[in-house]
Structure 1
Amino acid sequence: MNKKVFITGASSGIGLACADVFAREGYDLLLASRRIDKLHAIATDIQVQYGVQVQVIGLDVQDKQMVSKVWDELPESWREIDILINNAGLSQGLEPIQDGDTDDWDRMIDTNVKGLLYVTRKVAPHMQARNGGHIINIGSIAGKEVYPNGNVYCASKHAVDALSKAMRIDLLPYNVKVTCVAPGAVETEFSIVRFKGNVDKAKQVYTGFEPLYAIDVAEAIWFAASRPAHVNVNDLLLMPTAQANSTTFSKKITT
């Protein structure tokens, strides 16, 4: 029987790249996203290419009742998760704190912090009962540093960093590994979501340098997940070569 990985936010970006990498390595996939139609198409492609089992669920991690209902309705075999990748997350807006949209703040905190907690609360007891598992939380350079106008998004990713450390302590007696993977600039839908569909503005974020791509982060996640039983990668900070920290980039001038 194949091992199982549960990936939230699996319909695009890092989550989708993780689905491909873990399927390549022989894992069965439990894929969650709000975009269930897209997940069905992804599942078909992966099953044809890799021959693994794929279960898809429509899930908004912000919704505590939905998380509970969807999880409890899963067949028992799909609740025996070997690896949980808490990938679902987003940023909304890029304004100074005094001009921030409180609805944006709520969405970031509800998704990046509370959503991660709701999903973990369902999966972790099964790992505890089986005396093993691995939780991989997708953080950010924004969880290591703060940057201008990043305020609440940075706070939410600092929370992911802190929660990863706390989970590692709480789950240590049960042989459950916890890893926090913190990427720098990754060219996915992230900036499109941040700028609420403004594609031109989103493209400017990655102009003049080569960012990370989703597959780069997925391969780093696989590295952490594939270490021997006695090895845990606690924290992995992954940056483009052209990025030194959250605000310093080596950019070529383009015309």
Structure 2
Amino acid sequence: MKVQNKNIVVTGAGGGMGRQLVLALLNKGAGVAAIDINKEALDETASLAGKNGTNLSCYVLDITNNLAVIETVDVILKQFKTIDGLINNAGIIQAFVGVNELDYDKIDRVFNVNFWGTLYLTKAFLPHLLTRPEAHIVNVSSMGGFMSFPTQTIYGASKAAVKILTEGLYAELKDSAVRVTVIHPGAIATNITVNSGLAGPAVDAGNSKNEGMALSPVIAADLIIKAMEKNKFRATIGKDAWVLDKLYRLSPKIATNFIGKMMKKSLARQGS
């Protein structure tokens, strides 16, 4: 589905990939309903939109609150009249600890944002999307959604749930006008650590160049929109996600052991 002259909803629009998705969609001539829990972050996104801001509306929403989601979707539909696309981008990570050390409230929070938030928005918009001549749902999973990353096990499980949800939706909606794409980003230079309530350095998410080994969210957003416009079933974003996807397909055990070693080294460096 080409995004020009379409109205598209983006969650997690206050920063990182979400912000860059909003700005890129506006540049391509789309109308955007931007959703985020952080009003100040949304205001900054709106400010960065500049002259394209006339095609942008912002909505402060806690996507883990299903009643609030339903109410906000009603407001969006009344304002835009038609919505053609939904990009479920909002997500958080967990603290870098094992399952044994992770409290249940932290586990619930990760699943509430990553999985339930995605499901709530999808369920709320789907009846309307099914009435459109063409429509598209894009759900952002993770490379942690197709293979395990120790000390991010709950995060990975929530993103694996997004993967299966998306692939199931694809099969259920295959004979409709609604296309469905699952996205598996690798390391992206965003402030997801800080936005997840964890300690970490701030990142210049607007930098169009790579941040070390991490891919710029500007480039990531462009690749996600291209996957959407090409109606791809799935897309890996970043060389790391592409390589690990191939390695996991070759041998899940070897891939799991490899990532385990890399995670141990990374955590050791952070602790030193």
d(CA) in 1 for partners of 2:139, 2:53: 27
For 2:29, the equivalent position in structure 1 comes to 26
- Give 1:95 deviation, angstroms: 1.2
For 1:111, the equivalent position in structure 2 comes to 113
- Spell out, residue by residue over 1:40-62, the C-alpha distance to the aligned partner (whole angstroms, 9 max, x if none): 342243142x3641111111110
For 1:133, the equivalent position in structure 2 comes to 135
1:174 partner SS: coil
For 1:13, the equivalent position in structure 2 comes to 16
For 1:205, the equivalent position in structure 2 comes to none
- Give 1:71 deviation, angstroms: 1.5
d(CA) in 2 for partners of 1:136, 1:91: 19
d(CA) in 1 for partners of 2:48, 2:99: 43
TM-score by length of 2: 0.80
Whether the 8 Å contact between 2:32 and 2:55 is mirrored in structure 1 is yes
For 2:200, the equivalent position in structure 1 comes to 199
1:46 partner SS: helix
Whether the 8 Å contact between 1:21 and 1:219 is mirrored in structure 2 is yes
d(CA) in 2 for partners of 1:55, 1:242: 32
d(CA) in 2 for partners of 1:125, 1:107: 27
Whether the 8 Å contact between 1:23 and 1:52 is mirrored in structure 2 is no
- Spell out, residue by residue over 1:85-117, the C-alpha distance to the aligned partner (whole angstroms, 9 max, x if none): 000111121211111121110011111111001
- Spell out, residue by residue over 1:137-192, the C-alpha distance to the aligned partner (whole angstroms, 9 max, x if none): 11100001002122211100100110111111122222111001111111211123
1:88 partner SS: coil
Instruction: Give the 3 Å change call, closer, same or farther, for CA 125–75 of structure 1 in structure 2.
Output: closer
d(CA) in 2 for partners of 1:46, 1:193: 21
2:180 partner SS: strand
Larger proportion of helix: 2
Whether the 8 Å contact between 1:140 and 1:181 is mirrored in structure 2 is yes
Whether the 8 Å contact between 1:91 and 1:190 is mirrored in structure 2 is yes
d(CA) in 2 for partners of 1:3, 1:185: 29
- Give 1:37 deviation, angstroms: 3.1
1:104 partner amino acid: K
Instruction: Give the 3 Å change call, closer, same or farther, for CA 150–199 of structure 1 in structure 2.
Output: closer
Identity of paired residues, percent?
Answer: 26
2:90 partner amino acid: A
For 2:39, the equivalent position in structure 1 comes to 36
d(CA) in 2 for partners of 1:70, 1:141: 30
Whether the 8 Å contact between 2:14 and 2:41 is mirrored in structure 1 is yes
d(CA) in 1 for partners of 2:74, 2:240: 43
Whether the 8 Å contact between 2:95 and 2:198 is mirrored in structure 1 is no
TM-score by length of 1: 0.85
For 2:252, the equivalent position in structure 1 comes to none
1:113 partner SS: helix
2:116 partner SS: helix
RMSD, matched Cα:
2.7
For 2:235, the equivalent position in structure 1 comes to 236
- Give 1:244 deviation, angstroms: 4.1
> How many pairs were matched up?
241
Gaps of 5+ in 1: 203-207
2:164 partner amino acid: A
Instruction: Give the 3 Å change call, closer, same or farther, for CA 126–147 of structure 1 in structure 2.
Output: same
Instruction: Give the 3 Å change call, closer, same or farther, for CA 79–60 of structure 1 in structure 2.
Output: farther
Q: Is 1:3 aligned with 2:6?
A: yes
Q: Is 1:172 aligned with 2:174?
A: yes
Counterpart mapping for 1:72-87 below 5 A? 72-78=74-80, 80-87=82-89
